[in-house]
Amino acid sequence: MARIILVYGLVSGLIIIAGIIGTIAVSGGEPHGNVWLGYLIMLLGMSAVFMGVKQHRDQNRGGVIKFLPALGVGLAIALFASLAYVLVWEGYLAATDYAFMDQYIAATLEARRAEGMAPAAYAQLEAQMRDMAEMYDQPLFRLPMTFAEIFPVGLLVSIVSAILLRNSRFLPARARA
């Protein structure tokens, strides 16, 4: 089981990381592009959770698995993939001299300015974003925040996988052969 968790967690993490890096490369180096595309990439990567639970059920459990054990395997795979995502994001931040938040704030404020946001509302938004940037500079805030971006996707996929793949019927050994 540990091998399945490791392999499928790594596959999931690599798909997500490659997708995110690909979108950053296509968007000209700006990592704050389309949020929906980012979550679609995460969902695609987390599909490895389904494949890992299925392999565990079929190879290690003789085709039989209940909801909770299936959920446990799925969550372990999602956890591993989420931790890989957090580590790679931290590597990306370090490689870019932690410029992400400044770029994000500049892009957000420029978009609001272009929309014609009222000056008072703009000033309030700018102050809120600067406060957020100060918190984001703290690893004890940033790491859980990054983890919270992706793990809910893995949780959802784990629940759906456990529901779809659960099979609690007992098959005698001679019927499985």
What whole-number distance in Å separates Cα of residue 113 and Cα of residue 117? 6
Q: Output the CA–CA distances (angstroms, integers) from residue 143 to 19, 95, 138, in the order listed.
A: 20, 16, 9
| Position 83 in a domain | yes
Number of H helices, E strands in the chain: 7, 0
- Model confidence at 156, pLDDT cuts 50, 70, 90, reads very high
pLDDT tens per residue, range 67-95: 999 999 999 999 999 999 899 889 988 98
Residue at token pair 């992706």: 150
104 shares its domain with 45: no
What value does the mean pLDDT take over residues 104-124?
90
Phi, psi of 6 (to 5 degrees): -65, -50
Model pLDDT, residue 154: 95
Domain count, the chain: 2
117 shares its domain with 73: no
What whole-number distance in Å separates Cα of residue 47 and Cα of residue 56? 15
| Position 141 in a domain | no
Q: What residues pair up with 82 in beta bridges, in sequence order?
A: none
Q: Which of 104, 101, 171 is nearest to 135 (CA)?
A: 101
57 shares its domain with 69: yes
User: Is a pLDDT exceeding 60 seen at residue 115?
Assistant: yes
- 9: number of CA atoms within 13 Å, CB side? 20
Which helix (H) or strand (E) element contains residue 92?
helix 67-95
AA identity, residue 83: L
| Position 115 in a domain | yes
| Position 79 in a domain | yes
Containing structural domain, residue 118:
99-136
Decide: pTM greater than 0.85. no
Tokens, residue 145: 């925040």
Residue at token pair 């931040």: 93
pLDDT tens per residue, range 51-64: 999 999 999 988 89
Alpha carbon dihedral 121, 137, 33, 16, in 10-degree steps, equals -150
114 shares its domain with 48: no
105 shares its domain with 80: no
User: Is a pLDDT exceeding 70 seen at residue 114?
Assistant: yes
What whole-number distance in Å separates Cα of residue 125 and Cα of residue 122? 5
56 shares its domain with 130: no
80 shares its domain with 61: yes
